Structure 1
Amino acid sequence: MPTITTATALRHPKKPYENWRPPLIGVTLLVPVGVDGLLVADTTGHGDITLPTGSVEADEPPERAARRVLRGTRDELPVLRRVAVRQVQMRRRRVISHLIATRPLTRDDTAGLTYRDPRAVLRVLPTGQVIADFPEQVRTLILYGLQALAIGVIAHLEGDTVQHLESVAPT
């Protein structure tokens, strides 16, 4: 004889815990330096590098949030455009990351920049080394971002898969 619990479970199957919390929205900066370098933040001082990242407040454009991540002593950060948007469904919420590229900077331009975390040290490393040092998911995002920047599109990713490309008017 079935119990009440079994009968209730048959009538109300469990639903996944998707999106019962608001999404986390962040911004990551892709800062080319010269023709073969990328700006990274060393957060520990022991070589643990990350791309400069920050959060996006409610109803804030990602480009404005990008300007808060790195601050310059002279001019405002030369944000060029969004090159990729990645969405990942976690167990309880969606995580959305906007990859924002800046115009190429010189090493002198980077000397005046400060990261939002004052403990981090900003470094310029060769692009190949940066790509090799990151885990595969971040490596994929960087490669898609560099490619989208080169061909003038925004790559929309679901996880590590390109869902579609959106053309961008030349600046």
Structure 2
Amino acid sequence: MLPVGPVGDGETPEQAAQHVLAGVPSGLPILRRVVVDEVQMRRRKIITHILVTGPITCEDTAFLSYRDPRAVLRALPTVRAIAELPEDARARALIGLQALAIGAVAHLEAGTVQRLEPVASSGRGGAGPESLALTFQSEPDQEEACTL
């Protein structure tokens, strides 16, 4: 499950993500937003943002804390994390990886792609899907997940 939290008034999703998972002295290495999914519920609209981070090692995750102390944080390789997501979240995550690969932000409505918005180059060169949203990748040659 990906950590979630509200985006406050005047706050960007990137800033809100730093509040959901805290503890890394330099903050989460957020690269950019890759998906915005809007779903109209009966009384309110739910907007889900998926953000991509740079690589986070098992050692880095030792400092992380989630805002709900009852939660158990696990660092999983991206492929394994996607496999464990519920179907709707998995679809959003895969769309996010595709958007990352082509340099875009995917705008969805209830899980269906409505448009793609190109993202200006960050100068990093082709940033690959090192980690997805707020899921964490262990070292590339490690097969085991980190339990925090």
Structure 1 unaligned residues grouped into runs of 5+: 1-49
Higher strand content, 1 or 2: 1
Pair 1:95-2:85 in alignment: no
Return structure 1 stretches of 4+ with deviation > 4 angstroms.
none
**Residue number in structure 2 paired with 1:56:** 7
Higher relative contact order (CA 8 A, sep 6+): 2
Q: 2:25 aligns with which of 51, 55, 74?
A: 74
Could you say what secondary structure the match of 1:91 adopts? coil
**Residue number in structure 2 paired with 1:107:** 58
Larger CA Rg, structure 1 vs 2: 1
Alignment of 1:15-164 (within 5 A): 50-164=1-115
Structure 2 unaligned residues grouped into runs of 5+: 123-148
CA positional deviation for 1:140: 0.5
Identity of aligned residues (%): 58
1:3-26 residue CA offsets vs partner (Å, 9 max, x unmatched): xxxxxxxxxxxxxxxxxxxxxxxx
Q: How many residues get paired? A: 122
If the length of structure 1 is used for normalisation, what is the TM-score?
A: 0.66
Counterpart residue identity of residue 164, structure 1: R
Greater alpha carbon shift after TM alignment, 115-124 vs 156-165: 115-124
Could you say what secondary structure the match of 1:163 adopts? strand
User: What is the rounded CA distance, in whole Å, between the counterparts of 1:78 and 1:126 in structure 2?
Assistant: 16
User: What is the rounded CA distance, in whole Å, between the counterparts of 1:68 and 1:125 in structure 2?
Assistant: 20
User: What is the rounded CA distance, in whole Å, between the counterparts of 1:148 and 1:105 in structure 2?
Assistant: 20
If the length of structure 2 is used for normalisation, what is the TM-score?
A: 0.76
User: What is the rounded CA distance, in whole Å, between the counterparts of 1:131 and 1:76 in structure 2?
Assistant: 23
Counterpart residue identity of residue 41, structure 2: M
